[in-house]
């Protein structure tokens, strides 16, 4: 079976983007249903506490083994057999069982307690989440084979079924009885894990059966049994080959070099998990935030991160590729091609201008329309008290910092040397640990808003480092790409005027539709002014887009 790894990677990336958008929309819809019909405290227990338990167990049990196995398939093909790889993947399930024991105990007895009326459901849910993780990891061997042999469509279908089954089961139970929402969440998790098991093993059962049928036909038609091995390179002849110790193994049960590689990934994985889920760990450990406040923060954070996922990240990924292909890492800029350096500086300046302008739009109009957006999303009860509105307003400031940090840090990673990258990785660890400590301190005084302040401070420090790198890199060339971080004076003036107008409308306008009309008109006005002020950039982008379309 021939594999086009590049094509499969691109297909996987494209399908993953679509899948993430659909899942995000479905998640938003379910969260809105829970907020309106069940309550914020229940949402906090499920989305923060229980999903954190799931991500902790799966990441610590699977990540290191999976990464080491993927490395073995490309770098150690002659040293590691498929039997050893399957045995390696089956280590994830007992590892998860071992990790479940302390984790479930911590979640039940050491973290901030849940309300008494939820205690029985929460206890059942913790055990159910742990069991679902073990069940899911029992399908890790076929899931790993799916990844290695680039069954892109299978992965997308199974991931989609996983989300749909979990959502359908949860909604079906909750619609009939809202008081058992946490139990419904746990049962839905178990059902979705069973879907992964059945989907993976079911697919390969029929896939292997089809291969064997084709082999028999080939033998009958050609009369040559040697043709069997030349038909494909799929190493599994029956479904039981996916079980540990079944596949014929010429070496040891496990590969020693693979275990060393796994241990190295374990060390990185623990830190990565802490940094990735740092906010949720702080929320779970800190007693100053109620589950309702945790749910509110989670909802607002998901809404505020839409810009990062769907606008900033594609720009950052594309620009990263461009800069890596244009600027050489180990050669000073003034020694490289002047045309390419100038082009890179111009692109960096224009991209900085674009993302900064988007961030300023979010910051300006988020102050006037946070309440309206959250009211439409979660209803009047959700926005009562003003906490969600304050969170989203301050989160708009984080979006502005996120826009600047993404493009400047992305450029830095694309152009600096490997030595500088290693140095910055240590700084990132310091930044992240400082963020955790600062988050704990600020939430004690400011509540959930403290997370946003801590995040802004963290990003501001990273922006200072990356912009300093860019300034020093371009200083000998006389080019100034960082000027793109400064908005045009007419655009900035328009933002201030329209921002004040919309803020006035938010306080004194009694009609929701009229308030929305003011906002839409103001955004259009700002975009028109920006387009006029940056007419050359707009014209160049239009011509480039037409050129691509023509090609």
pLDDT digits (tens, 9 = 90+) for 474-510: 888 888 889 889 888 999 999 999 999 998 888 888 7
Both 230 and 202 in a single domain?
Answer: yes
Domain count, the chain: 3
**282 falls within a domain:** no
Both 391 and 493 in a single domain?
Answer: no
Both 455 and 522 in a single domain?
Answer: no
**277 falls within a domain:** no
| 287 CB neighbour count, 10 Å cutoff | 10
Tell me what pLDDT residue 529 has: 92
Both 192 and 163 in a single domain?
Answer: yes
Tell me what pLDDT residue 510 has: 78
Nearest in space to 298 (alpha carbons), one of 51, 26, 38, 17: 51
Burial degree of 331 (CB within 10 A; 0-12, 13-18, 19+): exposed
Range of the domain at 523: 488-543
Q: Rounded to an integer, what distance in angstroms lies between the CA atom of residue 451 and that of residue 491? A: 30
Domain end position, chosen among 460, 486, 512:
486
**229 falls within a domain:** yes
Both 262 and 401 in a single domain?
Answer: no
* Segments in the chain below pLDDT 50: 1-6, 9-10, 74-79, 225-231, 545, 547-551
CB 385 within 8 A of CB 346: no
Both 428 and 531 in a single domain?
Answer: no
Both 253 and 342 in a single domain?
Answer: no
289 HSE (CA, 13 A, CB side): 35
Structure tokens, 396: 């708009």
**285 falls within a domain:** no
Q: Rounded to an integer, what distance in angstroms lies between the CA atom of residue 16 and that of residue 77? A: 28
Both 433 and 309 in a single domain?
Answer: yes
Domain end position, chosen among 463, 486, 509:
486
Both 527 and 411 in a single domain?
Answer: no
Both 378 and 462 in a single domain?
Answer: yes
**391 falls within a domain:** yes
The helix (run of H) or strand (run of E) holding residue 290 is: none
Given the structure tokens 């600096």, which residue do they identify? Answer: 416
**394 falls within a domain:** yes
Structure tokens, 351: 């991209």
CA distances from 416 to 331, 410, 471 (A): 9, 10, 13
CB 394 within 8 A of CB 434: no
**150 falls within a domain:** yes
Structure tokens, 144: 């790993």
Residues in the chain: 551
Both 443 and 390 in a single domain?
Answer: yes
In eight-state DSSP terms, residue 50 is: I
**283 falls within a domain:** no
Both 508 and 411 in a single domain?
Answer: no
Domain end position, chosen among 486, 505, 523:
486
CB 195 within 8 A of CB 162: yes
């Amino acid at each position: 079976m021939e594999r086009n790894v590049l094509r499969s990677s691109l297909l996987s990336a494209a399908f993953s983007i679509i899948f993430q958008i659909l899942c995000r929309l479905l998640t938003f819809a379910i969260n809105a249903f829970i907020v309106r019909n069940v309550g914020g405290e229940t949402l906090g227990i499920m989305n923060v506490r229980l999903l954190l338990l799931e991500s902790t167990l799966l990441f610590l049990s699977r990540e290191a083994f999976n990464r080491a196995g993927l490395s073995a398939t490309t770098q150690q093909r002659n040293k590691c057999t498929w039997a050893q790889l399957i045995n390696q993947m089956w280590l994830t399930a007992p590892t998860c069982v071992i990790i479940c024991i302390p984790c479930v105990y911590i979640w039940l007895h050491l973290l901030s307690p849940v309300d008494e009326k939820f205690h029985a459901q929460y206890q059942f849910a913790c055990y159910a989440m742990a069991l679902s993780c073990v069940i899911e990891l029992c399908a890790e061997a076929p899931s790993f084979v799916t990844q290695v042999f680039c069954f892109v469509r299978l992965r997308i279908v199974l991931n989609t079924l996983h989300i749909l089954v979990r959502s359908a089961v949860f909604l079906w139970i909750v619609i009939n009885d809202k008081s058992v929402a946490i139990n419904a969440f746990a049962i839905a998790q178990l059902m979705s894990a069973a879907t992964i098991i059945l989907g993976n093993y079911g697919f390969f059962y029929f896939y292997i059966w089809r291969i064997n049928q084709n082999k028999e036909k080939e033998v009958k038609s050609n009369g040559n049994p040697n043709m069997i091995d030349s038909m494909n390179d799929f190493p599994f002849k029956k479904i039981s080959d996916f079980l540990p110790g079944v596949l014929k193994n010429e070496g040891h049960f496990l590969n020693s070099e693979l275990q060393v590689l796994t241990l190295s990934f374990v060390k990185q994985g623990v830190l990565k998990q802490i940094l990735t889920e740092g906010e949720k760990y702080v929320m779970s450990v800190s007693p100053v935030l109620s589950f309702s406040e945790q749910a509110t923060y989670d909802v607002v954070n998901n809404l505020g991160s839409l810009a990062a996922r769907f606008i900033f990240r594609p720009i950052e990924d594309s620009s990263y590729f461009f800069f890596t292909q244009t600027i050489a890492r180990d050669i000073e800029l003034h020694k490289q091609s002047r045309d390419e350096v100038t082009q890179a500086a111009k692109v960096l300046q224009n991209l900085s201008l674009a993302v900064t302008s988007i961030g300023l739009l979010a910051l300006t109009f988020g102050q006037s329309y946070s309440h309206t957006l959250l009211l439409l999303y979660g209803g009047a009860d959700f926005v009562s008290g003003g906490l969600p509105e304050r969170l989203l307003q301050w989160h708009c400031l984080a979006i502005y910092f996120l826009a600047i940090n993404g493009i400047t840090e992305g450029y830095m990673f694309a152009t600096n040397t490997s030595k500088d990258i290693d140095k910055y990785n240590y700084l990132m660890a310091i930044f992240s640990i400082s963020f955790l400590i600062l988050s704990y301190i600020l939430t004690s005084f400011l509540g959930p808003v403290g997370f946003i302040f801590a995040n802004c401070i963290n990003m501001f420090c990273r922006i200072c480092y990356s912009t300093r790198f860019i300034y020093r890199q371009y200083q000998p060339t006389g080019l100034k790409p960082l000027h793109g971080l400064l908005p045009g004076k007419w655009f900035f003036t328009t933002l201030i005027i329209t921002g004040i107008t919309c803020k006035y409308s938010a306080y004194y306008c009694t009609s929701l539709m009229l308030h929305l009309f003011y906002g839409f008109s103001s955004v259009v006005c700002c975009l028109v002014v920006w387009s006029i002020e940056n007419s050359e950039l707009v014209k160049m982008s239009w011509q480039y887009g037409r050129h691509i379309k023509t090609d």
